[in-house]
A and B are shown apart, each in its own frame.
Chain A
Amino acid sequence: MKVTADHDACIGSGQCVPLAPDVFDQDDDGIVILKRTELEESDVTGVKAAVRICPARALTIQEGPK
């Protein structure tokens, strides 16, 4: 499972960071930084919540090959 971020859509709210701190960070403009894109099992719930809670809807999860 992979996560991608649309950096143009990101508004720097930082809502994703506390939900999955191992995956998300912010740069000096507040824009999302992906610390990793291939998700570990332990990341999945937090990242799914971040995808929905992101007020700019800038995050997407892509299901990997089964």
Chain B
Amino acid sequence: MASPVRRVAIIGAGAAGLTTAEALRDLGFVGTIVLIGGERHVPYDRPPLSKQILAGRWEPQQSYLRTHESYDELGIELRLSTTAVAIDSTLRCVMLSDGDSINYDALVIATGSRARVLADMPDDDRVHHFRTVDDAVALRLQLQGQPRTLILGAGVLGLELAATIRELGSQVHVIDPLPSPMLRQFGPTIGDPLVQLHAEHGVDLTLGVDVQQVVHGRDGAIQINLIDGTSRTGELLVVAVGSKPNIEWLAGSGLPTADGVLTDGDGRVQDNVFAVGDVAARFDMDAQRHVRSESRTAAGEHGWAAAAAIMNLPAPPPPSRYFWTDQYSTKIQGVGRFTSDTNLDVVDGDLHSGRFVATCSLNGRLRGVVGWNLPRPFAKWRAKLTSETPSSPKTVTTV
């Protein structure tokens, strides 16, 4: 039996790290909690960055998840502008960027991910990546003159940015080598209505064409040359081509990493080490491999699960696999799994009417539900999906 945990170090102060700290207190943990954050801001929420903050409706402080003072009240020792540079899991010690080191009985790795950077981009302060609240403010400033904006990547982030920037009055071109938008999240299921939605708002989408190079064109504009011989020109470029987990600091730690920190189905890396949020690659029983889930929902679920595990309490229900995106006034909700081999059935509304619910099934089994501006019917189908899904991998009988 492990000795009691008196000191928890949480490395990374995003939603997942903070939720772990809060959940520990909710569950009655009375020991020390140290929360290490690399940015100068107190923990903040990321979903508003591409929407309320970029649009200028919110100031950065409105994305803060708690007030500065409330950390003292909760007994969380918050250290900002500090990163972890190495750990010694034998000595149970984390070395910090300010030269200090902290000991732990339990360690939670919550270092998140960063924007993936493409090679061979022009060296130009009008080329943006989008990850932090400071990134959002920097982009917002440059959008003031309504520059023609190029967005590389038609994933969730790329399309949310396209919607917000279009509503600010800029011309927007979105370019992605994949043939359908938000393919990673939904498979090809809702590609057509997404293309329709953005076309109706005047966004120019170029899908299924690879980029040859990004250069400075005439008048110093940024020019994207595509392999089909055409080009797109703008005064601003946002690269939104996915993320990379922040795991480099764990080199030499002996902890298992690949595309993320590898954990079991409950977020445990080793006896007293856990990983939560974007950086965690959890073992997925259904897919039979480790999978990172970069959703705001997963951040909270992982945090609660890690706190319960540290406290030796029963594991919460498995992650819901719920996510959402808001684009213009359209709310798209998804839950479950969407792969290219599933059948899509519209079960409510119409695919091109601006309101529908569709289900994905494989071999007659319900696998995923997507809702488009129909929250209540979506909720009913979601409940059906939950009731038909085994509640926990542990309850699956092996033969």
Contact = CB atoms under 8 A, between A and B. Distances in A.
Interface of A: 11-15, 17-19, 26-31, 48-49, 51-55, 57
Instruction: Give the size category of B's interface with A.
Output: 20 to 34
B19 interface: yes
21 contacts: A11-B324, A12-B333, A14-B322, A14-B382, A15-B297, A15-B322, A17-B379, A18-B317, A18-B383, A27-B376, A30-B375, A30-B379, A49-B23, A52-B23, A52-B26, A52-B304, A53-B304, A54-B300, A55-B296, A55-B297, A55-B300
Given A13-B322, A30-B375, A55-B296, 8 more contacts: A15-B322, A26-B379, A30-B333, A30-B379, A31-B375, A49-B304, A52-B303, A57-B65
A28 B304 CA distance: 28
Of A26, A29, A30, A31, most buried by chain B (CB within 10 Å of CB) is A30
B331 interface: yes
A15 B379 CA distance: 10
B393 interface: no
B147 interface: no
For the complex, would chain A's binding face be called helix, strand, loop or mixed by DSSP majority?
loop
A30 B373 CA distance: 10
B56 interface: no
Nearest to A49: B304
Q: Which 3 A-B pairs have the closest CB atoms?
A: A30-B375, A53-B300, A28-B376
Given A18-B317, A18-B386, A30-B375, A13 B333 contact: yes
A12 B375 contact: yes
Nearest to B387: A18
A12 B320 CA distance: 14
A21 B36 CA distance: 35
A10 to B, nearest CB: 10
Interface of B: 19, 22-23, 26-27, 45, 47, 65, 296-297, 300-301, 303-304, 316-317, 320, 322, 324, 326, 331, 333, 375-376, 378-379, 382-383, 386
B317 A26 contact: no
A17 B320 CA distance: 12
A35 B386 CA distance: 21
Nearest to A48: B26
A49 B19 CA distance: 10
A12 B304 contact: no
A6 B336 CA distance: 27
A26 B301 CA distance: 20
Contacts of A53: 19, 297, 300-301, 304
Contacts of B316: 49
Contacts of A55: 47, 296-297, 300, 324
A30 B323 CA distance: 14
Of A15, A19, A48, A53, most buried by chain B (CB within 10 Å of CB) is A53
B378 A30 contact: yes
B67 to A, nearest CB: 13
B376 A52 contact: no
A53 B27 CA distance: 14
B185 to A, nearest CB: 15
A34 to B, nearest CB: 16
Nearest to B382: A14
A57 B45 contact: yes
A17 B379 CA distance: 10
A26 B376 contact: yes
B300 A52 contact: yes
A54 B296 CA distance: 9
